Structure 1
Amino acid sequence: MPELTAHTLVVTAHAGDFVWRAGGAIALAASRGERVTIACLTFGERGESASEWRAGRTLEEIKASRRAEAESAAGVLGAEVRFFDAGDYPLKVTDELTHELVGLYREVQPTVVLTHTLEDPYNGDHPAAARMALDARVLAGAIGYPAEGEVVGAPPVFYFEPHQPEQSGFAPEVLLDITEVWDTKRKAMECLPAQKHLWEYYTDLGRRRGVQLRRNAGPNLGFASNTYAEAFMRPYPQVTDRLA
């Protein structure tokens, strides 16, 4: 089979999730000339737009506002975003939405998939998105599954870090150095004023993960003291011919 062009697929529950949790990974991929497609299942209109509701806006106005924010943030990061408008709080796992994701998998042929963890007691929308992302990945690779497009292989999956990692069974297995694109991620975060309270939280988290990256990288790799990083887990084994 021909070698696939590098293409990251990010499956997120809400409009801001991809920025806080994987904005650095997205910006890094885009900076290398790789494609990134974000599947945004909801706008986060009901559960993650409190400031918009307090301002007296209607549901449709909030959806439009959050869509514009997500489009702006994705543009800063260098990614394309697709909106499914599936409705949040709750986001429901359905055969129909999973089927739509199968179509997206077959269309973009991802070489890497990023999504939520399967556990998050604070926000059931996140595990729901992850469940459909994983199910769609399997179905998209089944030649007998009735959907348009070529079947996919088995792209590696990375769970990005939940907001409450200790309560969600999350332990960093991969620390990604995002220092060179940190300013881009921060600029993308600032495209999300509806969740302005998260700007500093995720700036601090990037610094903390950067400290952990330096501590785990060994003494001779030359990471600067102002390193920023993002943390990920892997649900499937890494395939390699060398332990490093």
Structure 2
Amino acid sequence: MMNILCVAAHPDDIEILCAGTLVRYAQEGHKITFAVFTSGNMGDTFIPPEELGKIREKETREAAAIIGAKLIWGGVMDEHVFPDQQQRHLMIDILREADPDVIFTHSPNDYHPDHRYVSQLVFDSYFQKGLPFIPNQSKPACRFGQAQLYYMDNLGGIGFIPSEYVDISKVFSIKQQMLACHKSQVQAMQQLADTNLAEMVEVQARFRGLAAGCRYAEGFTRLDAYQRGLTKRVLP
């Protein structure tokens, strides 16, 4: 059994970009952890931030529960992710709590600064998670061993060329069910960006499926860097 961690900037990012793959891991008996770095509390022009943050957390917990995933709620203010010392400490603790064998996070060239900085924080915290004497950490060091890091697709697939695919055809309906838990986000995206999230997710999964040779797929790029190498496939 492996520990599978997905670190995303906002509520619903996991469901949009990685949920199908996480469903497949869960069905194989692996331990799944969702880590949502911000509360998503700035993502509406009508609902006040304090109220919205609570709504977004409740929706995320409902989505995670569908596959029995654990949720780590970072609680950082939405639209205020920065690769600074304070947020580095938080990310190290998130990685330590999950003790991952496989990590998914945003692509460094994603469209949103919160996505980009979460990605950088994951990269920067990778080694620190296993070093026991890093000061001012609230969680004990986890295993120092290799954890394979994969970058998730960008919204719309813009500027992203997957190196590996996961066939999610048989679990796509579960991915849709998880996304539907985010009612406040679905409504806000329709109002603010004229975007139908369910339609966007299906179109992108179908497009990636064309390249992968299946009905629906999610695409990823593996981070190839020193001490992150891999001689076998770990994606489902």
> What's the TM-score, normalizing by structure 2?
0.85
Contact 2:167–2:216 (Cα < 8 Å) also in 1: yes
For 1:27, the equivalent position in structure 2 comes to 23
Whole-angstrom distance in 1 between the partners of 2:102 and 2:142: 17
User: What does 1:134-153 align with in structure 2 at a 5 Å threshold?
Assistant: 134-146=123-135, 147=137, 148-153=140-145
Task: Note the C-alpha offset of 1:19.
Answer: 0.6
Task: Note the C-alpha offset of 1:144.
Answer: 4.4
For 1:239, the equivalent position in structure 2 comes to 230
Whole-angstrom distance in 2 between the partners of 1:204 and 1:110: 30
Task: Note the C-alpha offset of 1:176.
Answer: 0.6
Could you tell me which amino acid in structure 2 is paired with residue 62 of structure 1?
A: L
For 1:217, the equivalent position in structure 2 comes to none
Contact 1:77–1:185 (Cα < 8 Å) also in 2: no
Q: Indicate which of 46, 56, 60 corresponds to 2:50.
A: 60
Sequence identity (%): 27
Aligned length: 218
For 1:101, the equivalent position in structure 2 comes to 91
Q: For structure 1, which segment, 230-239 or 199-208, has the greater mean C-alpha deviation from structure 2 after superposition?
A: 230-239
1:79 and 2:69 aligned: yes
Task: Note the C-alpha offset of 1:234.
Answer: 1.3
Structure 2 spans left out of the alignment, 5+ residues = 187-195
Could you tell me which amino acid in structure 1 is paired with residue 70 of structure 2?
A: E
Could you tell me which amino acid in structure 1 is paired with residue 201 of structure 2?
A: Y
User: What does 1:116-155 align with in structure 2 at a 5 Å threshold?
Assistant: 116-120=106-110, 122-146=111-135, 147=137, 148-155=140-147
> What's the TM-score, normalizing by structure 1?
0.83
Task: Note the C-alpha offset of 1:241.
Answer: 6.9
Task: Note the C-alpha offset of 1:86.
Answer: 0.8
| 4+ residue segments displaced more than 4 Å | none
Report the structure number with the largest CA radius of gyration.
Answer: 1
Q: Give the secondary structure class of the aligned counterpart of 1:85.
A: strand
1:127-171 deviations in Å (ceiling 9; x for gaps): 1001111111121133543442334312010000111433xx421
User: What does 1:222-237 align with in structure 2 at a 5 Å threshold?
Assistant: 227-236=215-224
Whole-angstrom distance in 2 between the partners of 1:78 and 1:97: 27
